[in-house]
Amino acid sequence: MRAILDWIEDRTGLISTISHFMNEEIPASAGWHQVFGSVALFLFLTQAFTGIMLGLNYGPTPGEAYHSIRYIMNELTGGALIRGLHHWGASAMVIVVVLHMLQVFLWGAYKKPREATWLAGVVLLLFTLAFALTGYLLPWDNRAYWGTVVTTQIAAGVPGIGPYALRLMGAEDGVGVVTFARFYAAHVLILPAVTFLLIVFHVYLVRRHGVAPEPGDEVKPKQKFYPVQVFKDTAAIFGVFAALFTLAIAAKAPLGRLADPTDTTYIPRPEWYFQFLFQLLKYCEGPLELFATVVLPGLAVGGLLAVPFLDRAPAIKVTKRTTAMAAALLCAIGWSGLTAAAILETPKEAAIAESMGPMDWVQLTPTELAGVGYYAKEHCANCHTLGLTDEGKPGPNLGTGGVSHDVAWMVAHFKRPGVPMATMALKPAEMNALASFLVKLTPQNAQKMSEVPAFATDGALLYQKNQCGLCHQINGAGTNNGPPLNGLAKRRKADWVKDHFLNPQKYDPDSTMPSYKFNARDNEAITAYLMALP
């Protein structure tokens, strides 16, 4: 082992670099209040890793983005967990970076000679918010689309540079393919590279000037970074990741309805850390709107950048920094008050619109939609209700979000239900489809699911029976061996689709698709289903 380490040291200098990093001296007063920087770095690396994992299955176009997210969350092993870590990790990173800035501000650790370290930290805070802003559009659901519409409108209203900002975002003609491509490029290519370089520069400055000691602590014996501070940083990282992991499992990352530019009734709501600005806009209408969107944020950022140059007084203990504490408390009250008001004033219909899961049958996968057919075939409605109110039936109301078991448990229950429920006359794959449908039920969509048109369930049943998902993809489910079927009505006529089922080789001699001898009724049903897909 010694020979291996000596070889690595001789060729790379890595061993001595790590030793120097771990054994660097830090003030005796360093402790738990200085773990936020390490936690923020860890969260950035977590976001990078989960982002790469999502990118392996993500379709970076408006036509594929939403359905690829649904595929990741519903069909990919561990996909819901990875997206949960990425989604909630964004909020965690905003929180930790703000806490890190707050700790540095309260302790006065921005004073000479650490002004550049503070300035780099302010820019990193802005980059963190830029990550959140550009990533918001990428799920391409209604929430993301209309939230970005508001963002581009705010940018367009900036005097002088508004039109140029709108052109840079590719939103001159509205939020569309160009806007999506530029937000995606910024989120995945530009921001990570620049942020990583800035983090390296920030850490370099911290090491160059050292951790700021408490006033009077300079004469005390210093401690090594390893092992005490390393343990505290590691324990803090572990605690944050444990909370993040639990949240990713317990609270599924939201995905609303597919983006609909014609849905002018939708009420856009930003992420919680931007809701204070949203609420401020409500109070600053008309001529005051510019104050809320440009002047106030500009003053806030300018104030942060100016802090080390305005406060040039000698360092004092944190317990005596009453002015800094009062400023921080005032900002916290203003931010939390506006955020709470925005949450409390969210209309009920907006909260429902942002609930998880599909809100219409066209957004169900073929398996889930076939489950609607099996629900009717097995006469489940004789004992169960799909609605917001009970109808006095013996079985539980499945429309109140009461289905708390997973698909595997429900399939086992269907096979051996017990009294009074009878054993189902369904094959295992059909039971799986029924269970997949039932776990999608929420109080918001259950009533709509009970009103699915017959042609849709018949078409989905035929689609499943003929295993069309082995070659095609609908709403993120299936494979890409053949063309995706979402948006088929924009590419083909119904008569073409019907004829193609009967004789695919007529249109493509090299096609491997078999001929389907559907009768007229079945051909009409599956074609109508496919032509209705968004």
Percent of the chain at pLDDT above 70?
93
SS (H, E, C) 349-403: HHHHHCCCCCCCHHHCCHHHHHHHHHHHHCCHHHCCECCCCCCCCCCCEHHHCCC
166-222 pLDDT tens trace: 999 999 988 999 999 999 999 999 999 999 999 999 999 999 999 998 887 877 888
Percent of the chain at pLDDT above 90?
56
CB-based burial label for 421 (10 Å; 0-12, 13-18, 19+): middle
In the predicted structure, residue 97 carries a pLDDT above the cut 90:
yes
Query: Shortest CA distance to 295 belongs to which of 280, 311, 317?
Result: 280
230-255 pLDDT tens trace: 999 999 999 999 999 999 999 989 88
Angle at 477 between CA 423 and CA 431, to 5 degrees: 5
Measured CA to CA, the distance from residue 500 to residue 509 in angstroms comes to 12
**CB–CB of 257/359 below 8 Å?**
yes
* Full set of structural domains in the chain with CATH: 33-217+227-353 (1.20.810.10), 361-531 (1.10.760.10)
Distance of CA 287 to the CA centre of its chain: 34
**pTM (2 decimals)?**
0.74
pLDDT score at 353: 43
Cα dihedral: 185, 141, 272, 263 (round 10): 120
Q: Which residues does residue 25 pair with via DSSP β-bridges, in sequence order? A: 224
Q: Which residues does residue 141 pair with via DSSP β-bridges, in sequence order? A: 258
Confidence of residue 403 (pLDDT cuts 50, 70, 90): low
pLDDT score at 347: 62
Look up residue 503 and give its amino acid.
N
441-492 pLDDT tens trace: 766 566 666 678 888 899 999 999 999 999 998 987 888 888 889 888 888 9
